Amino acid sequence: MEIMHKASSSLSCKISFFPSPDNIVSPRTLATPFRHSSASSNSQLQQLQLNRSKDYRPARSPLRCTASDSVKRQEMAGKDGQDSRIQKISSAIRVIPDFPKPGIMFQDITTLLLDTKAFRDTIDLFVERYKDKDISVVAGIEARGFIFGPPIALAIGAKFVPMRKPNKLPGEVISEEYSLEYGTDKMEMHVGAVEAGERALIIDDLIATGGTLCAAIRLLERVGVHVVECACVIELPELKGRERLGDKPLFVLVNGA
């Protein structure tokens, strides 16, 4: 009996089970009438052993496994924003009105994370864009930048650096203040996490007014890091956060409501 087993590692494993000699019964043996006399019992036992010796063929190894690569790379459909995966990603993001306060249309990425295909496509699109740009640092902005940043960093061979809110990092930090709608806030990074001359990508889930991205850019550039680009899953164009970045490139996948 043969069973095909497909593992999550995209390897096909073919397992063959071969019966042991003690479990084989010859078709001819099955066809032989059985009589309950003592004389015929010995005769039939001898016949059964003879048939087994004729019909049994030495079994091969009980487990045979062959691997084949079944992974196929998805190709980009064309220019940025025209990829066939973009619509799936956009439809996986839930918009919740009046959260966290009236008038706010909250872009909820948790539904994107529940869709494994859309989530993987999101990461793949970023990886395809940055894998050949000699990036050594992926800086993720707290908190949702921590979701997308690490898998991108691992895929392109870069280190992940968390950009955190005040008093969240245990070691010595360098900080950058930035403006909010009412008041100010700070962004912090561990001293020694990056080195002068490194090339960085800054990642977050969404750009609204652009304040946190600007702070992250200034923080990295203060220690001599070259920021190659900023990347977000969602942009809210009406808030004009892109304009605050000046000449710093910004790459986004979808526009929010």
Share in percent of the chain as helix, strand, coil (round to 5):
35, 25, 40
Distance CA 73, CA 169 (A): 38
Cβ 76 vs Cβ 131: under 8 Å: no
84: left (phi over 0), alpha (psi -120 to 50) or beta: alpha
Read off the tokens for 150.
């690490």
Which one from 144, 188, 198, 242 is the annotated catalytic residue? 144
Q: Cα 162 to the chain's mean position, in Å?
A: 19
Peptide bond into 100 cis (omega under 30): yes
**C-alpha span between 135 and 158 (Å, rounded):** 6
> Active site includes 238?
no
Q: Which residue is catalytic, options 2, 75, 181, 243?
A: 181
CA 150 → CA 14, 88, 126, 202, 243, distances in Å? 35, 22, 12, 12, 27
| Euclidean distance between CA atoms 119 and 121, whole angstroms | 5
Is 181 part of the annotated catalytic residue set?
yes
What positions carry a catalytic annotation?
A: 144, 181
